[in-house]
A and B are shown apart, each in its own frame.
Chain A
Amino acid sequence: MSRAGFSETRSASGQPELLLTGRWTLRALAEPGTTAAAWQNRLRELGRRDAVSWNCLDIEALDSVGALLLWRSWGRKLPGLLLMRPEHRHIFERIAAAEREPAAVVPPRSPFEGLIVLGAGVLSVIRQLRDFVALLGQLALDLLHLLRHPGDLPAREISANIYKSGMRAMPVTALVGLLIGIALSYLSSLQLRQFGADIFIVNLLGLSIIRELGPVLVAVLVAGRSGSAMTAQLGVMRVTEEIDALATMGVSSSLRLVLPKVVALAVVTPLLVLWATALALLGGMLAADIQLGIGVGYFIETLPKVVPVVNLWIGLAKGAVFGLAIALIACHFGLRVKPNTESLSANTTAAVVTAITVVIFIDAMFAIALRNVGLPRL
């Protein structure tokens, strides 16, 4: 493959002439070491010297990159003295035509840019809240509809979601619960032993795990695991227009896609809380046995005496509320996905971050509202 090149000669009539040879194509011009800009400058200099004629008859191949390079070094017009094959002339005609097209109008930047960004942010938050309320309303309508037409209950979808976000989450919640229980028990027992308060390990572990850690831990895991999956699923269905296809078949996307997810998480999260709490207590119990010599039998016997059972109910209620919130937030963001990959990733991130934040927020509300319930006074 011969490279692009040029040489200065004199034509038959003795005029200075630039003879272009070789391949003026992208691949030949983009060889390492030269940049398009360098080529262009050299050519422009040559062309400026005096009235040269350009002989392009010997060019082996010319594509639009080569042509554009020449065009720009000629100052965006054909030079007065030019010899060129007709099929190459077509390319320049096309370049000229492209330049005649009016450029796209980019809206000018406003001097109030900062204010506009701020306003857009506020409006977007308001719009999000409105959409969220609309989603809640739609779900309420769906529930009313189900009361009147129980046959429309999406039972299969609910069951599938329970399996996916419940059964499938059991190993990971078990592992995390067990490890947290062990870690917490070890750390606390080191401290408690210094005060000779060994037996309070039961109170400490029981209360903190059952009431606080179990529900929050599970909620974080569910948000990361099932919440993100729900957003991504709904999002991809928006990208591939599957939701539109469902709508044209008269299938309500909120009834068939959102409701099952919400119901499933509301049912499954308390169960996972129970499961993870049990394993965390087990881990704590084993660690206490090894570290402090507090037997498993003693632990089990003491636990119900020092931790009122209402704490378990609080934990389970928290689990249900957290599950509900996570599913609603995940579906809300999933339905907001615009048909492009960037929006998909942004909304999935937003869903998980918002879900975890809201979970912690609700947890704080619970703590304040129930501050007089279930805390034994010594």
Chain B
Amino acid sequence: MTTTPPVVAISDLSTRLGEVWIHRHLNLDIAAGELVALVGGSGSGKTTLLRQMVGLLTPTQGTIRLFGEPLFGGGVVRERALRQRFGVLFQQGALFSALTVFDNIAFPLRELRCFDATTIRDLVMLKLEMVELLPQHALLLPAELSGGMVKRVALARALALEPELLLLDEPTAGLDPDRSAGFVRLIRRLGDELGLTVLLVTHDVATLAALTTHVAVLADQHILAYGTLDEVRQFDHPFIRNFFPPQR
């Protein structure tokens, strides 16, 4: 049996936006089944890194491979097939404002063109139940949702295509502690059931401790440390000392 390539492989990535270098010589490999938290100061380039991983921004230098494949090239069909293997939750939700919650979640399923209307309806209701929303919420428009509900609908949409890799930008920001914990449990369970690989950006140490197998610290324009929470804690750097206060 051949060894499976890492789900995410970033090598020697450098990014310049305008005149500023956001990343320099950044390397990160994420193996299948890992639940990785990406932490870093505000404005350190976490969202930018995520946008590059999903192909919305091209790196100035370096390469990014998902599932061992490059993001670009090889024709529309290959690119689309690759993009259907990961789901993204944007920091602001990025729901389609003209579509109801139901249609937002159904949209990627309809794009596949292989399910009939009842199957899609059942799948959407299932996803809603997964993120603890009620069926009557399906009829609302994004503008009629609370901030936390937007996050949950966006997660449901990201989960719609049963992705193998889930990229979440601050999924628990805006949720109450109870929901936030439920969210974390949900992601962990999905990870167990489906062998999902998850990369999430978070500022919440509680989420991070409860959920993740690995922590990646983005500071000084590169991945400063990557390992389990305890390994990362050992690392001596001002940012890490501030982010993870010493255990009492």
List the one stretch of A93-101, A243-251, A369-377 in contact with chain B.
A93-101
Q: Is B219 an interface residue (CB 8 A)?
A: no
Residues of B participating in the A interface, judged by any CB pair closer than 8 Å: 84-85, 96-98, 112, 114-116, 119, 122-123, 125-130, 134-139, 141-143, 161-162, 189, 192-195
Contacts A90-B189, A340-B97, A340-B141 given: A68-B194 contact, CB under 8 Å? Answer: no
Residues of A within 8 A of B143 (CB): 338-340
A-B contact count (CB 8 A): 88
Which among A25, A26, A37 has the greatest number of chain B C-beta atoms within 10 A? A26
Q: Are B126 and A95 in contact (CB under 8 A)?
A: yes
Residues of A within 8 A of B115 (CB): 35-36
CA distance A99 to B125 in the complex (A): 8
Q: Is A342 an interface residue (CB 8 A)?
A: yes
List the one stretch of A102-110, A155-163, A294-302, A324-332 in contact with chain B.
A102-110
Q: Are B97 and A98 in contact (CB under 8 A)?
A: no
Q: Are A72 and B126 in contact (CB under 8 A)?
A: no
Residues of A within 8 A of B122 (CB): 68, 72, 95, 98
A-B contact pairs, 23 of them (CB 8 A): A26-B112, A34-B114, A36-B119, A37-B116, A61-B194, A62-B193, A63-B162, A64-B127, A64-B162, A68-B122, A87-B193, A95-B126, A98-B122, A98-B128, A98-B130, A104-B136, A104-B137, A340-B143, A341-B97, A341-B98, A342-B97, A342-B98, A343-B98
CA distance A271 to B77 in the complex (A): 55
Residues of B within 8 A of A139 (CB): none
The B interface, classified by DSSP as helix, strand, loop or mixed, is: helix
CA distance A265 to B19 in the complex (A): 39
Q: Are B116 and A98 in contact (CB under 8 A)?
A: no
The A interface, classified by DSSP as helix, strand, loop or mixed, is: helix
Residues of A within 8 A of B192 (CB): 87
B123 contacts which of A64, A103, A105 (Cβ < 8 Å)?
A: A64
Q: Is A239 an interface residue (CB 8 A)?
A: yes
Residues of A participating in the B interface, judged by any CB pair closer than 8 Å: 25-27, 29-30, 34-37, 61-65, 68, 72, 87-88, 90-91, 94-95, 97-99, 101-106, 239, 338-343
Contacts A63-B162, A94-B129 given: A104-B139 contact, CB under 8 Å? Answer: yes
- 7 nearest A-B pairs in the assembled complex, by CB-CB distance: A342-B98, A340-B97, A98-B129, A339-B143, A104-B136, A63-B162, A26-B162
Residues of A within 8 A of B112 (CB): 26, 30
Q: Are A68 and B126 in contact (CB under 8 A)?
A: yes
A65 and chain B: residue at smallest CB distance: B162
Given contacts A61-B194, A65-B162, list 14 more A-B pairs with CB under 8 A. Answer: A27-B84, A27-B162, A35-B115, A35-B116, A72-B122, A87-B193, A94-B126, A94-B129, A94-B130, A98-B129, A104-B138, A104-B139, A239-B97, A342-B97
